[in-house]
Structure 1
């Protein structure tokens, strides 16, 4: 492999490379989409010396990242061992991140509770708990009475109901975390272009990334792009004629305003998911209510249904009010697993597209930044490479 020579440019718009052994190291990287994944990749690139340009049609962290249940876990990721391991690694990366940038208002490692409403679902939960324990994942089993006495006195969970407690899980205030990561990157010299979308990606004669053109009319010379555009990732991929198939899976999230938050941690109760969201807010979500989105039900009615379910579990929420509701589209590649890494057919183009972006942000940010800067592909991402999706003009595009 030929080595790249060191070339520096005084004009920041010119292309520049740094030789790292025999690997081309990009000096200017455009990160498209500034949610949790884009912010994590960009911050890791910036702190290791790359010039980063964050580009987002909105504001940092205010898209899907801000309308996620934001539950950091691996207990719900058992369908493939490599996927479980990736999530466990990111849980550890979160603890390291909190030590590096400080926990502040974004990090809440208070554990997670889960219980079922019928015997069949309960048996399935206990079976999963046994599997997780066999994989050395910490899980504790309490009765409802013990949970009310020791952890969450405001709950109405029946006294003899088995309740699983995952002490190593957490919740994250995604918008606050994104703001902190982008702020740190900007302090290190990163640029930030908000309120403008990428409308074209230009390549050179060799097929490698050369430019990005923005909706405000500006064009940037870059050496690489990271597609972290969430629900718009398939459209961004299409700018380089790449087919990135995505699932369509909308979800509704409601924020409840309350004078005093009556719960201390994230939880999955029958029919409803509940977590704190700071000093005066609670977040609600339900897969059952998500199923009503495509029926044309008004979002205000969906919010009311979420609130009603939550009041059955936490009666104190009866005095709260619905503050905000949003239907968001989850960025899920067609097979349900992340698409992370280089696309070999387009040198300089990388993807960071995944559901569970809140959980996976720190580990994807670290591994992908390392791959971009060193050219080395980490084995942890082997099952989640973008090239697993066949590129055929006959395949239909499935947009999220």
Structure 2
């Protein structure tokens, strides 16, 4: 295997990326890919300690590429178009004081205490979805449960009426879909523009309604959020809602799917959890380490020249932190290829570290817990409906999860 010829994408790779990442950890832990025109470089960090250190180091590994520029370079850089700003002008892509300001404003409206109050409603949503499929004897867990459950949860949190849930799902699907060639990029840009116009108009109407009649939802709290006399601008508010809509449910879909798939392929662990529900919490955390929904963290950029393992990452270079590889690092985990509820070693990095630690972690854990409890209660003999090898995987480089997850179970004799 040669690093320069290594493929880090495609169906075969996505079906099982772990052998490739193991080779990189051992032979090229700081691996560089150069664009076809030679103008851009992207570095992949694959060892746990390097990934964790980069996650913590918000000074040298920054989220906004403009932070890595000199004042002269920033002055020459073209202003991003309004569409791009709306897609990216949120705390996930901000650094330093800007990030702290945005996170401080949102923290007030997105507390762990507030998330926990959603638990009864999440159980109602999960029960309703399961009731719709339990009599069929089979379902696609991604499209029949995980996806509608996750979008309903984030829409419920935001205060989006149920009649508009499908629109939010459609917007998110378009915004997350990768493009592989220039023609498709053009078409995607045109489609993005149409979607964003619809999205902004919808938010304008929803925010105006909440100003007239505030409710106990996140849109209202974002409108009212204030920190030392500061408020979110309209652009920041819309961008924040877009961030929560996409990240708030896309990763949750594959957290639920991956944890279900992992447990169904480890029946002894699943039986242990059926007997002892206190094992649900460690099962969720180990599932995130073992085969989590975020394969690579969102992109960082080197704010200065950084020397690591004999390689020099130049200022401005893109840096990809490969969480899926870090979670299988033999240097920090004993038998990392094994799913183990008594797992020792450091905590997983699935929610990040440091300044950019995932604000939605409490909600993700709550969704995973409610979904798993509902599955255990309603489908006691559920199993995979196809061989594991027949699963098809998402091709988005950031996301890790199956496109579909066919399940089946026995129906009571009176229903046969």
TM-score, normalised to structure 2's length?
0.23
Larger RCO, structure (CA 8 Å, separation 6 or more) = 2
Q: Tell me which protein shows more strand as a share of its residues.
A: 1
